[in-house]
Structure 1
Amino acid sequence: AEWCAPGAAPAAMEAREPLQELRGALRAVLARVREGEPGEGREPFELPRFWDALGQTFKVTSQEATKLSLAFSRPPPTSAEDCRKLSEDVQNAILAVATVYYWLPKGQGTTLRKMVRDATTEVVEGMIQLTETILSTPLESLSQEQLVSTGGVWEACEQVSNLPQGEYNQAAVVSVLAACLGVVKDALEEMEHALVEGQDPYSDIMEDEELGFRGNRDTYWSEADRKLLSSCMGLMKASKACLKKVLGVVKAYGKADSPEQIAQLDDLADIAKEISPSVDELALSMYPPMNQLSVRLHVNTQEAFLMNFLHFCRTSHVCPPSEEGWVQFLSGAVDHNMNKIKNFTQGQL
């Protein structure tokens, strides 16, 4: 609800009406960006021109956010006319951001388009948040919330410099693969650390005089668990190697000269985005108390993603004959670890 001081002057409240209209307009833009699809422009698409325009619109939006925030941070009260002008400038800046986003044709690839859409959405959401914060705080007072909201718009606008501005969809896919590889590396390192730290503290005591054989497996891995873990770790390492090698060939051979090449890169990015969370889920299932059936189910999922990933890579333009050797090697590594895991968990099915 908008803040209304007791006895607030009608003129002061009237000055905020354009902000309410602005909020509605920004919400409409946000809905269109989220739901709409960029069209195919009539003019030839030029990527450098697109990035320049996007960067410029984000910069202008950041400046307009600053002006809007300052206008409502100190006396004297902003007039209705000034507020309307500020609101129009903000709306025009946001419309310019959305317009440039719509320049990006579908043919440039879904990975790149999603990144730009997410960045655009974040900027619009930030501006909506700032507008709502100003509307809900006392007149001409700079609240902590308003400072945070203003900073949020600045941060969102600065994200454009972090977008992969290389050759069309190829740079975007490289960015996705690198992020997925980072997630898998982290999961692997955490599990390696847990294995070192997770020794049974009472492993040297084979039998407790009063309780009999120790049956509590809630806090440590049994010897049988550790045998299974070794092969699961092998599968996680294969996942890391797959992502690393595919990232390398996409950097080296990835092209976006045809719709087919762009689609192939998108497929690799989509599967990579399935691999990294599935590695995380596999790792979580491996902690004690271990349920071997649960581990087996997660392993099967991981195997399917990896084999699919390697297949897509091998049949795409990023894998010339000179690169097929490592694809076969990693397929063999996945099979090897899977066979061992199947043997260890045979009784669980």
Structure 2
Amino acid sequence: MTSAIDNDTQGHYYSADYSRHPLALTPTSPKLKALADMCLNFSRELQNPPSIESGEFDTVKFKYTIRDLATVLINDATKLTIACKPPYTASAAGPTIATLGDTAFRLAGFVESVPASCGRTYVGSIRRTAGDALRSAVALCNSFLEIPVAIEADKKGEYLISTGQLWEACKHMQEKTPADNREAVAAKWRLMTGTLEDGVAEVEEFVREQETGAGEDGGEEEEEEDGWDDVLGESSKVRLTKEELAICVRCVSLFKLTRMLCKKVLARCILTADVSKPEVIAWLDQLGESGAAVADAVDEFGASMYASENVVGQARTFVEIATELVHVAQSFAEGEHAKWFE
């Protein structure tokens, strides 16, 4: 079977201009540092918005291309580690450095060829995972360099650990690369709903303590620390006024309804979206952003309860944000799905 890399034509952005490849003109001895510099520069470029706005692009084919490239990168990293570990010889290490550099070069090129029209969530996911792999490659190079290249997230470490980190980054590309913006938004939505679940549980527990007086009288200590006392100190023992507590009780019910709303949005809007339409791709991004805003609003409300600060205002803000999510969901929902949100 022919690899997707062998017959793919989408990664022309960098490969068409091979003169940009710094390893092509670098002598063998400083190649490892040149590789680290190149991977770091590419990872930083991928933090910028995509350079291509629109155009035809096969996201499903791209998923398999990235999977194959990740497999090649794992193999290249293993060979580089074996060649560069003590006792190091330039004749053995040089070819492996150049090979990994070529793979990293192609990875950056393929990712840069993804147009913005594929969707902000999809493009952002692709660029982040590729950037993580490239920074892991820098960390691997650093483990062999006497003077490491400065990177933001990773430090110089033992080469076996750095190799493992690069493997993990590549496996993430293999297993988590979405097929389109629908899959990207769905994955983000599931993470968001997990955060929402935690926030609702936290608010519900706090209200229960307020109603039973545990927050004032001490009560029984929780079997498992939730971390709030360490962060908020004595403010976590605050007592709400009757008006504030009544609002919180109503908000708990509203949060539970919102939790159900988010599940319905996933099933009725996101998973059924037709990503062949540009306007639907943009709508999915709006949904993802609105859902994230809802989860953030629950967290903000929880923080305001613990601090007994502007609970009423935070409740109003949450209602506005949740209402906006419904409006966004309604804008493209059709048939029975649209009726559910009325």
Q: Could you tell me which of 108, 113, 124 is aligned with 2:118?
A: 108
Q: Who wins on radius of gyration, i.e. which is larger? A: 1
1:73 matched to which residue of 2? 85
Q: Is the 8 A contact 1:115 1:163 kept in 2?
A: no
1:220 Cα deviation after fit: 4.8
1:298 Cα deviation after fit: 2.4
2:296 matched to which residue of 1? 277
CA distance in 2, matches of 1:71, 1:54: 25
1:6 matched to which residue of 2? none
How do 1:1-349 and structure 2 match up within 5 A?
Answer: 17-35=30-48, 37-39=50-52, 44-75=56-87, 77-79=88-90, 81-136=91-146, 145-163=158-176, 165-166=178-179, 168-197=180-209, 199-201=212-214, 219-222=237-240, 224=242, 225-287=244-306, 289-291=307-309, 293=310, 295-316=311-332, 319-328=333-342
SS in 2 for 1:37: coil
Q: Is the 8 A contact 1:164 1:175 kept in 2?
A: no
User: What whole-Å deviation, never above 9, does each CA across 1:280-308 have from its counterpart, x for those lacking one?
Assistant: 12112222x522x2x23322332222111
Q: 1:130 to 1:265 in 2, by over 3 A?
A: same
1:38 Cα deviation after fit: 4.7
Letter in 2 for 1:53: T
Q: 1:112 to 1:57 in 2, by over 3 A?
A: same
CA distance in 2, matches of 1:217, 1:100: 51
Identity of aligned residues (%): 22
2:223 matched to which residue of 1? none
CA distance in 2, matches of 1:181, 1:305: 15
RMSD: 2.9
User: What whole-Å deviation, never above 9, does each CA across 1:252-309 have from its counterpart, x for those lacking one?
Assistant: 531111111111111111211222122112112222x522x2x233223322221111
CA distance in 2, matches of 1:202, 1:60: 57
Letter in 1 for 2:239: W
1:150 Cα deviation after fit: 1.4
1:40 Cα deviation after fit: 6.4
The TM-score normalised by the length of structure 2 is 0.76
The aligned length equals 292
Letter in 1 for 2:130: T
Q: 1:307 to 1:196 in 2, by over 3 A?
A: closer
User: What whole-Å deviation, never above 9, does each CA across 1:18-65 have from its counterpart, x for those lacking one?
Assistant: 1112122222222322225153687x5333321111111111112212
SS in 2 for 1:173: helix
Letter in 2 for 1:219: K
SS in 1 for 2:158: helix
Q: Is the 8 A contact 1:242 1:306 kept in 2?
A: no
CA distance in 2, matches of 1:221, 1:69: 59
CA distance in 2, matches of 1:33, 1:218: 41
CA distance in 2, matches of 1:252, 1:19: 45
CA distance in 2, matches of 1:69, 1:299: 55
SS in 2 for 1:303: helix
Q: 1:228 to 1:36 in 2, by over 3 A?
A: closer
